[in-house]
């Protein structure tokens, strides 16, 4: 069994164990194909690559992590995007979630507030040939209003509450998938769906643990070896 096959098996096992919470017995085949296609080892630091295909989060520097593959797959599935969808991601990190989204959506816009991660991810995604992803260094709490409305928005860090700007930037029928809660406290993965009437309805999915969503103006970058991880 290859590393990728083992990873897909582990994701399927997690789905089976959580099926009553997530409301599905299997994930969209397009999402699983994306998980198989995107090389996770290309998105983790060199000293973590031996663990790249384990079903767990890994540190990527600057106090941030690359999410557990099961959670990446689940959040992508919950977004419900299609080949023509325009999707916003908040928290580019290493670029892994954006790469997965790019295999199931038409266009991905990704915002990162940590300059070292933003620059490294943009370079990595370009080097790997992901041409339908646009990145931006900015405060993700504010979204990307110039490109709104979006067909889906995915947040890869936990906000203490649902950011109003992100709900505003959803198109009719679109979903916002995000963890909400306090650092080191209870966090829950939520799906916020905006109906055709403009009313947003929230559904809790399952307990999660994410790094906190950082707010404020991006600080100046500092040269470091982490940037080249």
Tell me the catalytic residues: 67
Strand-pairing partners, residue 200, are: 194
Phi then psi for 96, rounded to 5 degrees? -65, -50
Cβ contact 207:188 at 8 Å: yes
Strand-pairing partners, residue 170, are: 150
| Measured distance CA(92)–CA(121) in Å, rounded | 7
How far is CA 54 from its chain centroid? Answer: 18
> Torsion angle, CA of 172/174/175/176, rounded to 10 degrees?
-80
SS (H, E, C) 120-134: HHHHHHHHCCCCCEE
- Of 171, 14, 36, 12, nearest to 103 by C-alpha is 36
Q: How many CA atoms lie within 13 A of 172 on its CB side?
A: 3
Largest interatomic CA distance in the chain: 49
In this structure, the strands spanning 133-137 and 64-66 are unpaired
Cβ contact 195:182 at 8 Å: no
């Amino acid at each position: 069994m290859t590393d990728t096959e083992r990873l897909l098996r582990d994701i399927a096992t997690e789905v089976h164990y959580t099926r009553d919470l997530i409301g599905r017995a299997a994930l969209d085949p397009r999402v699983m194909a994306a998980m198989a296609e995107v090389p996770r080892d290309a998105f983790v630091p060199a000293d973590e690559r031996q663990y790249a295909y384990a079903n767990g989060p890994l540190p990527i520097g600057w106090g941030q992590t690359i999410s557990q593959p099961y959670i990446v797959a689940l959040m992508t599935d919950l977004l419900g995007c299609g080949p023509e969808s325009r999707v916003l991601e908040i928290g580019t990190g290493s670029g892994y979630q954006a790469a997965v989204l790019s295999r199931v959506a038409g266009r991905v816009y990704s915002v990162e507030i940590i300059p070292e991660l933003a620059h490294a991810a943009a370079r990595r995604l370009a080097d790997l040939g992901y041409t339908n992803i646009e990145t931006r260094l900015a405060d993700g709490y504010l979204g990307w209003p110039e490109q709104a409305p979006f067909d889906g928005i995915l947040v890869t860090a936990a906000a203490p509450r649902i950011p109003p700007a992100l709900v505003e930037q959803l198109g009719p029928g679109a979903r916002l998938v995000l963890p909400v809660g306090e650092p080191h406290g209870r966090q829950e993965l939520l799906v916020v769906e905006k109906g055709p009437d403009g009313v947003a309805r929230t559904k809790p999915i399952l307990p999660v643990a994410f790094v906190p969503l950082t707010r404020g103006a991006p600080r100046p970058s500092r040269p470091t070896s982490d940037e080249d991880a």
